[in-house]
Amino acid sequence: MKIRIKFSKEGDMKFIGHIDIMRYFQKVMRLADVDIRYSEGFSPHQIMSFASPLGVGMESRGEYVDIEVLSTDSSQEMMRRMNAAMVEGMSVLSYKRLPDQAANAMSIVAAADYRVRFRDGYEPENFDAFVEWIPSFLDLASIYMMKKTKKDEKEIDIRPLIYDFHAEGHELVMKIAAGSAANLKPDVVMRAYMKEQGLTLPDFALAVTRTEVYGTRKTGEKTEVIPLEAFGEDIE
């Protein structure tokens, strides 16, 4: 049986890297007595796949991990058991059963939501005037920025990768491309936005929280972009 777990990563846990989060979840599965399936062979390991690694220093209320189980209790009971094994800053938000034919989360990630705020001492003096330029920014036909790859850097047009960008109070909210096909980081969007205004984004100026990750689902000829947890259903 395939299960998709949504979890949060906040507080001091934002400084824990992806590899250690993987090891942490392996321990949680044992402590919570999750009947997780193991691979076969000389070195069996838990069947577990994370949707999209989160950058160190970034908080999230929308992380996902897929597992396979041999048996399971209800969603509420499994969430209770896992949360009892969690440390402060980590929390399971949902536990959904996936259809047997469902693709793993990593392979279908298409977009992610972020909330961005300036840390104390870094916010522009006139924040209202700063965000007034957002509509003009989104009206640009192209926005070229340097993007790091595994081997070097290259200039790309990031405008097609920005799906939404607006202000809510003193936070900037964005929906941007994520996944293997196209991936954009929120700090690159902010650097581009400030560059268009003749401003420079200082290092460590932003506090970023990922709030949701989306995947694509084909229904007939239509392709939907929906939250990853919407692919599954609660277990009663």
Write the pLDDT tens digit of every residue in 62-78.
999 999 999 999 999 99
CA proximity to 119, closest of 185, 183, 59, 53: 59
What is the mean predicted confidence (pLDDT) over 45-54?
93
Question: Strands 2-9, 59-68: parallel, antiparallel or unpaired by DSSP?
Answer: antiparallel
CA atoms within 13 A on the CB side of 102: 24
- Per-residue confidence (pLDDT) for residue 22, from 0 to 100: 95
Q: The tokens of 73 are what?
A: 């209790």
pLDDT tens by residue, 85-98: 999 999 999 999 99
Give the whole-angstrom CA distance, residue 81 versus residue 86.
9
User: Could you tell me which residue, 150 or 172, shows the higher pLDDT?
Assistant: 172
Percent of the chain with pLDDT over 90: 88
The pTM (predicted TM-score) of the whole model is 0.93
Residue 172: what pLDDT?
98
Q: 128 pLDDT exceeds 80? A: yes
pLDDT band at 162 (very low <50, low <70, confident <90, very high): very high
Yes or no: say if 55 and 188 are a contact pair by the CB < 8 Å rule.
no
Q: How many CB atoms lie within 10 A of CB 171?
A: 15
Instruction: Give Rg (Cα) of the chain.
Output: 19
DSSP 87: P
